[in-house]
Structure 1
Amino acid sequence: MKVLDKKNFEAEVLQSQGTMLVDFFSETCEPCQALMPSIEEFADKYSEKIPFAKLDTAKARRVAIGQKILGIPVIAIYKDGEKIEELVKDDATPESVEAMIQKYI
């Protein structure tokens, strides 16, 4: 899973071609930490079909605000640099994340 930050987000996500999953999280967010093992498992399972990346919103606050990330966790799907779907907070369950991945692979 690619680690994003304020320096590489634009090049890696907004200027990329194809579909990508981005996990917006924070080290201090308990729901984020609870979801992370599932996201990493999905990355292992599906990374040949869709690239996975994660961004720590606490370290890249302006990027998060620019992407209209107002609460976390957020699991977002980007296609050709545009956010096309996202799961926010309580909707970001392992089951719903995997269902969303299935739609785009």
Structure 2
Amino acid sequence: PRSALLSISGQLFVVTQAGLTCTYQAATPRVHIPANGGTVNINVSAPNGCAWTLSSAPSWATPVEHFESGTASLSLTIAPNTTGAARSASVVIASQSVTITQQ
């Protein structure tokens, strides 16, 4: 919050404005990707002025954008899965966990 002291006709007034409350919501808790990889977009909802970032991702999920603000979409390039076994990992975006599963 921020405050200011105003003087009007000799009277003092304190004005206090509450700070922005930032809440975040990922559009989906799970994403499924084929073995050949590709690009996935994860939508994040947040009030204007609320910044967010990708804070955790596996090595096979490369972010196209690292940092956003407000409601936006984060793009991740998912590398092909050549292991022959399905793999799964969580990414953390704006404190929201999203599980990526790849065949």
Task: Please give the TM-score of this superposition, normalised by the length of structure 2.
Answer: 0.25
| Higher RCO structure, 1 or 2 (CA under 8 Å, sep 6+) | 1
Report the structure, 1 or 2, having the larger strand content: 2
Task: Please give the TM-score of this superposition, normalised by the length of structure 1.
Answer: 0.25
